[in-house]
Structure 1
Amino acid sequence: MSIGAVEAARNILTRLHDVMASRSHAQAKLNTVVEVIGECLDSEVCSIYLLREGMLELFATRGLAQEAVHVTRMAVGEGLVGTIAEDIESLNLAEATAHPDFSYRPETGEEKFHSFAGVPIVRRERAVGVLSVQHVEPRRYDDIEVEALQTVAMVLAELITNADLIDEVDVLSASGGQTGPEQLRGLTLVKGLASGVAVYHQPRITIEHVVAEDTEAERQRVILAFDKMREQIERMASQAEFGVGGEHEEVLATYKMFAYDEGWTRRINEAIDSGLTAEAAIERVQQRTRMRMRQIDDPLLADRMHDLEDLSNRLLRIVSGQLGTAATMGLRNDAILIARNLGPAELLEYDRRRLKGVILEEGSLTSHVVIVARAMGVPVLGRVRGLRGKVRDGELLLLDSDQATVTIRPSAGLIEAFEGRFARNRERQAVYAALRDVVPVSADGKRIAVMINAGLRDDLANLSLTGADGIGLFRTEFQFLVSATLPARERQTRLYRDVLEAAGNKPVLFRTVDIGGDKTLPYLRHDDGDSEENPAMGWRALRVALERDGLLKAQARALLEAAPDRTLNVMFPMVSEPWEFDAAKAVFDGQLAFLRRRKKRVPEAIRYGVMLEVPALAEQLDLIAPKIQFLSIGTNDLTQFLFAADRSNPKLAERYDWLSPAILRFLRRVVRTLDGQPIDITVCGEMGGRQLEALALIGVGIERLSITPASVGPIKALIGKLEVAAIRAAMEEWLAAPPVSMREALTSWATERGIVLD
């Protein structure tokens, strides 16, 4: 902002301060405002248009016909004023009639005025009105005049809000008349249905005062806020407490760049010089950034501007003292949480009794928060764009992550239909819950083991709630994902001991830490710091543990100390060759010998197993079989490796089919290779938790499943109605000569036998 703009804005704001403080009614204040602006800018016309009943109405004017006040109205997007409100952009024209959106209104008497400049009056990122000036002489307004108008528009937004000149319906009308139901689409990250009020993870900051009493005091507030924000960012870099993800370092580097950017601080200080409070100055600069963002086509630049937006919000929270997330303030009602992105630790801060669902503006299938949310049973919808411009705090949302949609402002009919689906789901869950004590035995007497996947201490209650046979996969990395630093060995030991005690006589299969790749830990990076082009097939899981042997040694000792005088089941992830298993087991053998030398109590027996996720291991099963007691097939990774289809890429979702003959033939070959050997074969993951896919798995010889707790009931119900011999005979025929659709063939087979699938 130039010196001229600062002086012009300060002059206007000084006079408007007295206007706003006066006891006159709102209309009289607006009438005075247009006179003040007109005089200070030496403008022949100054007009204010505000939203009323979804239309932009002329509320006050200096220079146009007074008879047009409260008479001239236009829709958002209509005429120059409507275009400004729709685009939330300023216009500066030497000849107004030359603009393609010009719309002549004869009742205003504006035909003699040629030049036109207008700026949006913005509240909560929506245009609620327009401030415009006009001259007879054809000329473009100076930038300092337009900047002064933009600053004054902020003050008008406060006056308008305090005077209740518009209501929320009017505000929503500004975004295209969206006052009725609207459905937004996204990407299903965790399936499920949920209803609740919208709650923003980072609550919106309410700016209560716009005009400064003491500009020097406001400047000091901004300086202190910048200092505090920079300290936070430096602490993030050193302690790695800022989020998670492969782009961690890049994000922090961008944040640092903006935090120390002199141009940004200068613009905020100039806005303060014009007469704004610290909060209003930050918001004023932020508004300008948003306008620039709308004009950016380059996705990389747009991302950087989003980073600046995030940083502006952080600075605004610091300077206003409105710190904390919705979690720290507590949820009062059933809530659907909205965030740009979340870390797993942030999600775990929320009251699970109130948190019903999560909507992310970004998010991916492999993000850590999704792993935790799935374990918590909280549906998550990701990649829903433009939420902040459409959803208000406290607004009712219907989240249908099964169909990848969220409904805003639902009608009574939509709510009733949604509640009907909810009720049917609850009825089904009640039927499944009644199967808790039922042993999963097929109609022809085949016992199928049904276990659960877990990773959090709270998951342990699901063992008794579902009647599962044990924990077929305990993901030890959860403890690492939600920690800002590497968990101490003693802390790991406590968790593993608690898990074993809660499980009682039921088995628990502990998978050693599966981190790296897509599950990046900020405190555990490559030595060279390079990011991986294909993290799913990179430095992860057992590869990390063997290279960072101190990590595996600490975990080995923690597991051994947690299971004195009982059987310990240890599983190594992403084994691709037998030597990797040998190297990992050698670490456990070394720690076991260490404990015995010190006369420590150790497990009565240790059973070892591997995760079959890398197809290469299937070609060496004869070599590794004599060394293991169990094999767990991780279908998520295995499928993406077999198909060379990244499971986090939505464009490849259709190619990621668990019922492909290629997958089923592969699994059948694994079962046959190990047939007759004392090795438990288990399928871990989402595939085993779907009834149709579980039917196919049992058909190729799988007799052990480890699935999400919510899937135990449906799978038990399926097993009880199933004749295993019959489905295995059918699968033999289908895999010899695959049908056009294995999915349709399996569905028809089940229907003919009266097996109802969800």
Structure 2
Amino acid sequence: MSAVASARSILTQLHDVMASRIHPQGKLDRVVDVIGEALDSEVCSIYLLRQGMLELFATRGLNTSAVHVTRMAVGEGLTGVIAQTNEILNLDEAKSHPDFQYRPETGEEKFHSFAGVPIVYRERAVGVLCVQHVDPRKYDVVEIEALQTTAMVLSELIAHAELVDEEDFDQSVATRDAEVVEGLPLVKGLASGRAVFHQPRVTIHQVMADDVEVERDRVYRAFGRMREQIDSLTSQSEFGIGGEQEAVLETYKMFAYDEGWSRRINEAIDTGLTAEAAIERVQQHTRLRMREIEDPLLAERMHDLEDLANRLLRIVSGQLGTAATQGLRYDTILIARNLGPAELLEYDRRRLKGVVLEEGSLTAHVVIVARAMNIPVLGRVRGVMSRVREGDEILLDASESRVTFRPTAAMGDVFDSRFAKRREKQAAYADLRDVEPFTRCGTRIHILMNAGLRDDIAALKLVGADGVGLFRTEFQFLVSATLPARERQMRLYRDVLDSARGKPVIFRTVDIGGDKAVPYLRTSLAQDDENPAMGWRALRLALEREALLKSQARALFEAAAGRELNVMFPMVSEPWEFDAAKTVFEDQRAFLTGRGKPMPSAVRYGAMLEVPSIVEVLDLLIPKLEFLSVGTNDLTQFLFAADRANPKLAERYDWLSPAILRPLRRIHQATIGSQVDIGVCGEMGGRRLEALALLGLGYRRLSITPAAIGPIKELVRQIDLAELTEAMTGWLARPPSDIRVALSAWAAARDIDVD
């Protein structure tokens, strides 16, 4: 029997059970028999939440005397873990799991295998359906899917039969007390507001279909409406037609046409599910796959597909609208399982203060966009969808890796105090907007900002930056379903230069590939990268795909007509790579000149120093450059062989280690006597203590996030460079046990605030 036929047989039997006139307990008793027989499993049990505890309500294979006797807390034992995490367990040996607990009254000691799925009602687990077997074996995907389908049917039964008390459910699963939860900081910062769910939960009222063909037609029509909705959202975007949001939505449209995805939904309908239940069924399978995917880039694409499924589910159910389309009414902390970059761009920035994700990764495209929008994001907050309710007060401290739900008054006072100090500092920094940053000894330090979106350039005037030291051109590529056309690139670059109003802008050529994968550029090497950050990316990829670099060169030249153009090549590993990239650009300049196109008044070429190998050949590279920017983020991870996306390594290696500071000093010294303008662009320059060290090494140009410009300007005005340089020289010659401690003490003795 095929998987579809088997699933249909199970669903037909469940339909008969649900349609019968027997009482709810009798239905549960019959369900465990149906599933046990269908899966040839010796045990099938149903646990439901009752008075805050998971109670054994029905079983096939365990001692029947344990029914309504065996109870366990949420989080206790394997069943409790499933209810707590809302996740599946599939074990060939149950006793091997650290949360395994033996209940003697059940008589389960002879069973080895165990699989369980949550019974979910309104985004929260209200019970668990599990199976066990004497022989140690993992249940296959078809069997797990059968359990999930049954759990959906049971959820419908629970809703109608009131087997779970609503008030008890709210109190036990979604506690009303204050709760502090740890997460992974994706974009650091402080924010407070009320909880708003990005996607209000779609309630599935009917799981089993009355007419399969009617359900199939509903799905087909929903697919059509979804594509129209994406087109409409593009035209309504604040970025306008041709902007970044439209490109992201085009990516979603590409997924919408995926035949494999629509086929799986149709197969689920063939088993006898309604359109809504079929979409949810396939979505559950997607989530299961996501948990098994170790590649963060592939997982991110799976998140895009889940986002699309959520859109489709809302359309087919008639429950349309997200929090973005409905509008935010107050300061908001957005709650989501995961979020796509396009959806983040839909929100009113005046109201959106922060984001908390149940999933999320450091390599996600949404993180790049959120950082550019200066919106703090905390990811990997386990169980956030069940821990918080719409309208709950939230204090988000992404800098300290935590979020507080329903804070007490005392917690709020502490947070408000921190926030007030932050606002006071920001007001002081705003007063420095038009102040040129000179040190106490009279040296002018040039402080520029990093950017990647068209709207970022407005911050130039707001923070008083000297220019844009790094414009990441890859943002436009990351959010596009296809390679951005030259005309579209040109419009973006021209708008950026217009908005800069004569201040310098350094355009870094596209840095995609590796850990910034795009679906439309695939190479055999890129697909097999085990370490994407050190793989086929940036200039390596651009030189292979020369048409990509040629198109960008023409777009930049035409956009900068009559103005100075600054071009920086990323991830230069050897001088010949810089030569090859510059040759591509110069050939395109000659091509355009020959056709009478107006050209920039001057073109300056530079390189980004991120790869340690180039440090050893700086004497060969420097004569070729007008400027050099040290990318401290990648340089640090390459020097330490430490993936910066790995949370275990993120804080392990110190930027103020001699292993980093000595190479940085060597790099700066190599430029002395040349005409090369050297600077730093990266997070290191935006941290006060680390910036102090960089100034002590001789660096006089920093390109940092807009939010850090005020604090660094304030720092600069407190420094005597001769004194600082002498201290740094001594520490690097004879390193103390901890340079960070030594530099902090040096600053404190001079009343220099480095926090």
Tell me how far 1:701 sits from its aligned partner.
Answer: 0.4
User: In the alignment, is the contact (CA less than 8 A) between 1:85 and 1:128 conserved in 2?
Assistant: no
Q: Does 1:153 align with 2:151?
A: no
Q: Does 1:682 align with 2:682?
A: no
Aligned to 1:716: 713
User: In the alignment, is the contact (CA less than 8 A) between 1:76 and 1:174 conserved in 2?
Assistant: no
Aligned to 2:593: 596
| Cα distance in 2 for residues equivalent to 1:365 and 1:288 | 24
Tell me how far 1:121 sits from its aligned partner.
Answer: 6.4
| Cα distance in 2 for residues equivalent to 1:442 and 1:691 | 14
Matching residue's letter, 2:103: P
- The 1:687–1:14 alpha-carbon spacing in structure 2 relative to 1, beyond 3 Å, is same
Aligned to 2:411: 414
1:176-187 map, 5 Å: 178-187=175-184
Q: Does 1:170 align with 2:168?
A: yes
Q: Does 1:100 align with 2:103?
A: yes
Tell me how far 1:410 sits from its aligned partner.
Answer: 2.3
Tell me how far 1:229 sits from its aligned partner.
Answer: 11
Q: Does 1:454 align with 2:448?
A: no
The C-alpha deviation readout for 1:327-359, integer Å capped at 9, x for no partner, is 344333322233444443332232222222223
| Cα distance in 2 for residues equivalent to 1:41 and 1:501 | 68
Give the SS at the match of 1:336. Answer: strand
The C-alpha deviation readout for 1:3-35, integer Å capped at 9, x for no partner, is 88656544454456xxxxxxxxxxxxxx96568
| Cα distance in 1 for residues equivalent to 2:355 and 2:148 | 39
Tell me how far 1:484 sits from its aligned partner.
Answer: 1.8
Between stretches 715-724 and 322-331, larger displacement belongs to 322-331
The C-alpha deviation readout for 1:449-496, integer Å capped at 9, x for no partner, is 111111111111111111111111111111212222222212222222
Aligned to 2:436: 439
Q: Point out where structure 2 has 5 or more consecutive residues left out of the alignment.
A: 1-5, 35-45, 58-67, 90-100, 107-115, 131-142, 232-245
Give the SS at the match of 2:656. Answer: coil
| Cα distance in 2 for residues equivalent to 1:491 and 1:346 | 21
| Cα distance in 1 for residues equivalent to 2:668 and 2:720 | 19
Aligned to 2:537: 540
Give the SS at the match of 1:651. Answer: coil
Matching residue's letter, 2:124: R
- The 1:34–1:82 alpha-carbon spacing in structure 2 relative to 1, beyond 3 Å, is same
Between stretches 554-563 and 322-331, larger displacement belongs to 322-331
| Cα distance in 2 for residues equivalent to 1:662 and 1:201 | 44
| Cα distance in 2 for residues equivalent to 1:196 and 1:358 | 10
Tell me how far 1:211 sits from its aligned partner.
Answer: 7.2
Matching residue's letter, 1:598: R
Tell me how far 1:323 sits from its aligned partner.
Answer: 5.1
- The 1:576–1:321 alpha-carbon spacing in structure 2 relative to 1, beyond 3 Å, is same
Matching residue's letter, 1:550: A
Matching residue's letter, 2:200: P
Between stretches 471-480 and 692-701, larger displacement belongs to 471-480
Matching residue's letter, 1:422: F
- The 1:688–1:412 alpha-carbon spacing in structure 2 relative to 1, beyond 3 Å, is same
Q: Does 1:466 align with 2:463?
A: yes
- The 1:701–1:226 alpha-carbon spacing in structure 2 relative to 1, beyond 3 Å, is same
| Cα distance in 1 for residues equivalent to 2:466 and 2:271 | 67
- The 1:466–1:10 alpha-carbon spacing in structure 2 relative to 1, beyond 3 Å, is closer
User: In the alignment, is the contact (CA less than 8 A) between 1:609 and 1:631 conserved in 2?
Assistant: yes
User: In the alignment, is the contact (CA less than 8 A) between 1:466 and 1:712 conserved in 2?
Assistant: yes
- Partner residue of 1:644 out of 641, 658, 664: 641
The C-alpha deviation readout for 1:535-556, integer Å capped at 9, x for no partner, is 2222211222222221112211
Bigger Rg over Cα: 1
User: In the alignment, is the contact (CA less than 8 A) between 2:256 and 2:308 conserved in 1?
Assistant: no
| Cα distance in 2 for residues equivalent to 1:472 and 1:158 | 58
Between stretches 71-80 and 622-631, larger displacement belongs to 71-80
- Partner residue of 2:550 out of 553, 562, 584: 553
Aligned to 1:366: 363
Give the SS at the match of 1:652. Answer: coil
Aligned to 2:122: 124
Tell me how far 1:498 sits from its aligned partner.
Answer: 1.7
User: In the alignment, is the contact (CA less than 8 A) between 1:341 and 1:361 conserved in 2?
Assistant: yes
Tell me how far 1:721 sits from its aligned partner.
Answer: 0.8
User: In the alignment, is the contact (CA less than 8 A) between 2:459 and 2:706 conserved in 1?
Assistant: yes
User: In the alignment, is the contact (CA less than 8 A) between 2:54 and 2:74 conserved in 1?
Assistant: no
Tell me how far 1:686 sits from its aligned partner.
Answer: 0.5
| Cα distance in 2 for residues equivalent to 1:178 and 1:574 | 49
- The 1:717–1:278 alpha-carbon spacing in structure 2 relative to 1, beyond 3 Å, is same
Aligned to 1:319: 316
> CA RMSD of the aligned region, Å?
4.7
| Cα distance in 1 for residues equivalent to 2:151 and 2:659 | 62
Matching residue's letter, 2:169: V
Matching residue's letter, 1:126: R
- Partner residue of 2:663 out of 662, 666, 670: 666
| Cα distance in 2 for residues equivalent to 1:382 and 1:39 | 41
| Cα distance in 2 for residues equivalent to 1:590 and 1:429 | 47
Between stretches 74-83 and 310-319, larger displacement belongs to 74-83
Give the SS at the match of 2:416. Answer: helix
Matching residue's letter, 2:602: A
Between stretches 336-345 and 430-439, larger displacement belongs to 336-345
Tell me how far 1:661 sits from its aligned partner.
Answer: 0.8
The C-alpha deviation readout for 1:493-519, integer Å capped at 9, x for no partner, is 222222222222321111111222111
Quick one: percent identity of the two aligned structures?
56
Q: Does 1:484 align with 2:481?
A: yes
- Partner residue of 1:525 out of 522, 526, 531: 522
Give the SS at the match of 1:654. Answer: coil
| Cα distance in 1 for residues equivalent to 2:601 and 2:75 | 80
Q: Does 1:692 align with 2:689?
A: yes
User: In the alignment, is the contact (CA less than 8 A) between 2:180 and 2:403 conserved in 1?
Assistant: yes
Aligned to 1:337: 334
- Partner residue of 2:187 out of 175, 182, 190: 190
- The 1:6–1:354 alpha-carbon spacing in structure 2 relative to 1, beyond 3 Å, is same
Tell me how far 1:299 sits from its aligned partner.
Answer: 7.9
Q: Does 1:402 align with 2:405?
A: no
| Cα distance in 2 for residues equivalent to 1:395 and 1:677 | 59
Between stretches 386-395 and 661-670, larger displacement belongs to 386-395
| Cα distance in 2 for residues equivalent to 1:674 and 1:528 | 35
Tell me how far 1:402 sits from its aligned partner.
Answer: 0.6
Matching residue's letter, 1:621: L
| Cα distance in 2 for residues equivalent to 1:81 and 1:405 | 27
Give the SS at the match of 1:453. Answer: strand
- Partner residue of 1:705 out of 676, 681, 702: 702
User: In the alignment, is the contact (CA less than 8 A) between 1:278 and 1:319 conserved in 2?
Assistant: yes
| Cα distance in 1 for residues equivalent to 2:76 and 2:382 | 28
Tell me how far 1:719 sits from its aligned partner.
Answer: 0.7
Aligned to 1:423: 420
User: In the alignment, is the contact (CA less than 8 A) between 1:190 and 1:401 conserved in 2?
Assistant: yes
Aligned to 2:37: none
Tell me how far 1:84 sits from its aligned partner.
Answer: 11
Tell me how far 1:39 sits from its aligned partner.
Answer: 11
Q: Does 1:509 align with 2:506?
A: yes
Aligned length in residues:
677
Q: Point out where structure 1 has 5 or more consecutive residues left out of the alignment.
A: 17-30, 60-70, 91-97, 104-117, 133-142
The C-alpha deviation readout for 1:351-397, integer Å capped at 9, x for no partner, is 22222222333333333322222111111222333333333344332
Give the SS at the match of 1:603. Answer: coil
Give the SS at the match of 2:381. Answer: coil
User: In the alignment, is the contact (CA less than 8 A) between 1:154 and 1:210 conserved in 2?
Assistant: no
| Cα distance in 2 for residues equivalent to 1:216 and 1:421 | 58
| Cα distance in 1 for residues equivalent to 2:690 and 2:332 | 33
The C-alpha deviation readout for 1:416-437, integer Å capped at 9, x for no partner, is 3222221221111111111111
Give the SS at the match of 2:181. Answer: strand
User: In the alignment, is the contact (CA less than 8 A) between 1:683 and 1:706 conserved in 2?
Assistant: yes
